[in-house]
Amino acid sequence: MSLDLAAVGYETEPFLFEYDWKKVALYALGVGCKRADLDYLYEARGPLVLPSFAVVPAYPALEPLVKRAGADMTKVVHGSQSITLHKPIPPGGKLTTVARIEGLYDLRKFSQVVFTTKTEHEGQLVFETEWTLLVRDTGGFGGPRPPKNDAPKIPKDAPPLFERTEVIPEEQALLYRLSGDLNPLHADPDFARSVGFEQGPILHGLCTFGYVTRAVIAGVCDGDPNRLRSISVQFKKPVWPGEALQTVGFRTEDGRIALAAYAENRPDAVVGGAWAEINES
């Protein structure tokens, strides 16, 4: 099965996302916030909104875009995720999101679908996202190759700018899914085994993304989420609830923060090709 190259450039009608502080707090709990992170959880303090919450209003666009591209949702694997913030995300209100298929690429064994979203609040652009999805059993159709990734390299022999390790609770995937990603791979042990994960349900890639985002805010933003301008990650390996996730960041020559994340004592990064841009003041 091949993807439909004519889908490139397809743009959705606006999706409306209405939310309040409870959805913001639920998301924060879903990506690991604890009692010490009360500013993200307590309505009397706003609450603050994690920048990675930007993926939640884009969820409704995912399935129709995959369908328009001619892909089977059951064969989709999340390859990478990026967000760019233009202003702080309000703790409640109405957001409108327009999504667009930016590219369909041939990776021989896989195809790659890239789509973007733009989200506005009261007519003002708040954030943008870019999603890269890999689609199994659809490659080899003679389409273009994807553009080269410009992620900065982790400097050799340089000490990290920060390190942060958190143990992911066993129930974390069950909590995160309440923000909208209901894939049974993250909840049902029988389903997970049926698709090759004998250890059981894996953590959502976007939950890992939230943990990495929180690590960056703590490590280089002095705890201020509004200093995070953009963050981009590639998902390399699955993470299981119960594992310890270590995120490390390094300052690069171009001013970005190169990132990697590791689970337990596994040598290979579970998140790589990753970086963040910070507003210095």
Structure tokens at 154: 């982790």
Give the DSSP letter of residue 57: G
What are the boundaries of each domain within the chain?
5-136, 162-278
Q: Give pTM, 2 decimals.
A: 0.96
CATH number of 5-136: 3.10.129.10
Report the distance separating Cα 218 and Cα 197, nearest Å. 32
162-278, which class in CATH? alpha beta
Backbone dihedral angles phi then psi of residue 94, each to the nearest 5 degrees: -125, 125
* pLDDT for res 20: 97
Let me know how many helices (H) and strands (E) the chain has, helices first.
Answer: 5, 10
Domains 5-136 and 162-278 belong to one CATH topology: yes
On the question of a cis peptide bond just before residue 225, with omega within 30 degrees of 0, the verdict is no
Per-residue pLDDT of the chain (281 residues; tens, 9 = 90+): 578 889 999 999 999 999 999 999 999 999 999 999 999 999 999 999 999 999 999 998 888 998 999 888 788 889 999 999 999 999 999 999 999 999 999 988 889 999 999 999 999 999 999 999 998 888 888 888 998 888 999 988 889 999 999 999 999 999 999 999 999 999 999 999 998 999 999 999 999 999 999 999 999 999 999 999 999 999 999 999 999 999 999 999 999 999 999 998 789 999 999 999 999 86
Extract the tokens encoding 175. 């909590």
Q: What is the pLDDT of residue 281?
A: 66
Radius of gyration of the chain (CA): 18
Query: What does the alpha-carbon distance between residue 281 and residue 278 come to, in Å, rounded to a whole number?
Result: 9
